[in-house]
A = this chain, B = another copy of it.
Amino acid sequence: VAGYGFVSFLTDYGVDDGFVAACHGVLLSRASSVRVIDITHTVPPGNVRRGAAVLAQTLTWLPPAVHVAVVDPGVGTERRAIAVATPTAVLVGPDNGLLSWAWPALGGAQAAMLLNASTSLVRQVSHTFHGRDIFTPAAAALAIGADLRDLGQPLDITSLVRLPEPRSSVQPGVIEAEVVTIDRYGNVQLAATASQLQAAGFGVGMDVVVQTASTEYGARTGHTFASVERGRLVVLEDSAGHLAVASNRDSAARILHVSDGDVIIVRSRRQRTDG
């Protein structure tokens, strides 16, 4: 049958106000049997890049769904409201790059629509809360079986706003990569993948150097946090398949003083002694 049993929801609305619940209410008023999977609502206000990273890395673990994401500092301006179809899901949100790491992760964009059909709207569309007034109504319509084509006008997929891919490069003994994002534990996720660790010639259990813009730190490659002593740095493959710098029972981000988008170099200790 048409439609979706699940709607996922990611925003920067926070959890202290009633914004998330108002969206749940709009959704459930129109699609009463749908079930909502909240991803997070504490993306830092307006931080599109952080929202994009969490979204793309989480969606692959969800059942087929309509995925609504709203980090939207340009709400009420000319930025477009879009829906993007992938093989098993539909992404709904602002056309500001927020969704652009997610559709490749879900198998690629098959079609895109500019949301504007009057059927998707609530009483009167506000200028500041399109999550409630445009995006969740569209998701509700899709959940109960509406055809994507009934929600707006087709868009050229190549016209969609995309965030730049985080950079990484690998040479023998040296990996240079941007920080994609940092999690609750202070694990520093890099743009490099675990396979790049092998490509650089690193094995597991090797002493390495982690270098930031300002200083450098000793670390080891390992499988998990407890591969090193408490408070020491470990370079490992994280649960999303990325290379990450972590610390056993401590925050690597705090130790390294790094943030999203900073560049980190991981290199073999031998490399350094040779230099």
Which A residues are closer than 8 A to B by beta carbons? 5-6, 8, 10, 12-19, 21-26, 28-29, 32, 35, 37-43, 45-46, 54-55, 57-58, 61-63, 73-77, 126-129, 132-133, 183-185, 223-227, 236-239, 246, 248-249
Quick one: which of B14, B21, B185, B223 contacts A62, CB cutoff 8 A? B21
Which residues of the partner chain B approach A132 to less than 8 Å between Cβ atoms?
Answer: 61, 239
A12 CA to B15 CA, complexed, in Å: 12
23 A-B residue pairs with Cβ-Cβ distance under 8 Å, sorted by A, are: A5-B32, A8-B21, A10-B18, A12-B184, A14-B183, A15-B15, A16-B42, A17-B54, A17-B184, A18-B57, A19-B183, A21-B38, A21-B40, A25-B58, A28-B63, A45-B185, A45-B249, A75-B225, A76-B225, A126-B237, A127-B223, A127-B224, A132-B239
Q: Which residues of B contact A55 (CB under 8 A)?
A: 18
A77 contact set on B, CB distance < 8 A: 224, 226
> Known: A42-B16, A63-B28, A77-B226. Contact between A128 and B236, CB under 8 A?
yes
Which of B22, B28, B226 lies in contact with A73, CB distance below 8 A?
Answer: B226
Min C-beta distance of A130 to chain B, whole Å: 9
Q: Is B45 in contact with A21, judged by CB distance below 8 angstroms?
A: no
Q: Determine if A129 and B239 form an interchain contact, defined as CB atoms under 8 angstroms apart.
A: yes
Tell me the minimal C-beta distance from A187 to chain B in angstroms: 8
With A58-B21, A127-B224, A185-B45 known to touch, is A32 a contact of B63 (CB < 8 Å)?
Answer: yes
What B residues does A12 contact at CB under 8 A? 184
